[in-house]
């Protein structure tokens, strides 16, 4: 084989590689991790706030903390008697989902599996559409989109699996875009202390206004 012929073959292989790029497969989450986030809404009357995710699918548990200033739609409007319904709210996923305002020791069961309130599976993005790269917080992140029960969900992460951002968009124009940008310095893979998922004893009532999927009110 001549050097010229070998070079032509190499260029041909390079051309095919560039033409037929492999689309990244939807990722699978680690079975357990924790990470902090900053939460934004693209509607002026809702302020931004911070929070944290705790996830351990090995024990089928999750907790999503929406901290001071939050206006999370699962936390709000559940009918609890509160001094400040924008204070720290923990959404605890055990068998059911509980809304817990820890500072005021107010808590209730908001919904369960029948309403779709279950812990996400690590492979929940199976079948998601790859939507390309985006620079988020200075990092190159890959994104996937999948239609959920209520909204289109997007998940962005780096090539090494570090979460960058999650957002959801309701197709109805009056519903806002909701974004969680993750703090990579807080990302930790591995089992979460089980007590994080404990449901307080006073979480013994059903919320006066239980959460229902949109269209069932």
Average pLDDT rounded to a whole number, residues 101-105: 94
C-alpha–C-alpha distance, residues 121 and 197, integer Å: 17
| 24, part of any domain | no
pLDDT tens-digit readout, 110-140: 999 988 899 999 999 999 999 999 999 999 9
Task: Assess if residue 15 is contained within a domain.
Answer: no
Taking the C-alpha atoms of residue 50 and residue 164, their distance in angstroms, rounded to an integer, is: 15
State yes or no: pLDDT of 19 exceeds 50: no
CATH code of 94's domain:
2.50.20.30
106 assigned to some structural domain: yes
Mean pLDDT of 92-115: 94
pLDDT over 70 percentage in the chain: 81
Q: Is residue 76 in a domain?
A: yes
| Higher pLDDT among residues 212 and 184, named by residue | 184
Task: Report the alpha-carbon distance of residue 102 to residue 3 in Å, rounded.
Answer: 73
Whether 19 maps to a domain, the answer reads: no
- Residues 99, 107 contacting (CB under 8 angstroms): yes
pLDDT, residue 147, reads 82
**Which of 167 and 110 is assigned the larger pLDDT?**
110
Position 6 scores a pLDDT of 39
- N- to C-terminal Cα separation, the chain: 74
Domain that holds residue 149: 32-197
Residue 31 burial (10 A CB sphere; 0-12, 13-18, 19+): middle
pLDDT tens digits along 65-91: 999 888 888 898 899 999 998 999 999
| Mean pLDDT confidence for 158-177 | 77
Take residue 73 and report the two structure tokens written for it.
């739609």
Length of the chain: 217
**What is the structure's pLDDT at 71?**
82
Q: Which of 91-95, 101-105, 175-179, 200-204 has the lowest average pLDDT?
A: 175-179
When the pLDDT of each residue in the chain is averaged and rounded to a whole number, the result is 84
Q: Give the per-residue pLDDT at 170.
A: 67
Question: How many structural domains are present in the chain?
Answer: 1
Q: Answer whether residue 158 is part of any domain.
A: yes
Task: Examine residue 104 and state whether it is found in any structural domain, yes or no.
Answer: yes
Instruction: Give domain status of residue 26, yes or no.
Output: no
* More reliable by pLDDT, 147 or 12: 147
Q: From start to end of 11-162, where are the E strands?
A: 32-41, 49-56, 61-66, 89-93, 97-101, 106-111, 129-136, 139-147, 152-157
> pLDDT tens digits for 142-159?
999 998 666 788 999 999
């Amino acid at each position: 084989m001549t050097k010229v012929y070998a070079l032509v073959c190499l260029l041909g292989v390079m051309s095919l590689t560039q033409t037929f790029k492999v689309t990244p497969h939807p990722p699978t989450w680690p079975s357990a991790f924790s990470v902090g986030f900053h939460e934004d809404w693209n509607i002026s009357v809702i302020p931004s706030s911070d929070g944290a995710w705790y996830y351990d699918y090995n024990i089928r548990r999750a907790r999503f903390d929406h901290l001071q200033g939050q206006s999370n739609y699962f936390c709000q409007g559940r009918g609890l008697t509160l001094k400040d319904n924008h204070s720290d709210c923990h959404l605890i996923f055990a068998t059911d989902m509980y809304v817990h305002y820890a500072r005021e020791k107010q808590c209730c069961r908001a919904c369960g599996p029948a309403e779709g309130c279950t812990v996400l599976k690590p492979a929940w993005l199976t079948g998601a559409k790859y939507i390309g790269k985006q620079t988020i917080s200075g990092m190159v992140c890959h994104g996937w989109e999948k239609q959920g029960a209520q909204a289109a969900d997007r998940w962005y992460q780096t090539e090494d699996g570090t979460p960058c951002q999650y957002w959801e968009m309701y197709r109805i124009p009056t519903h806002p875009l909701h974004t969680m940008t993750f703090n990579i310095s807080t990302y930790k893979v591995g089992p979460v202390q089980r007590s994080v998922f404990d449901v307080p004893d006073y979480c013994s009532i059903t919320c006066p206004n239980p959460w229902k999927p949109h269209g069932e009110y």
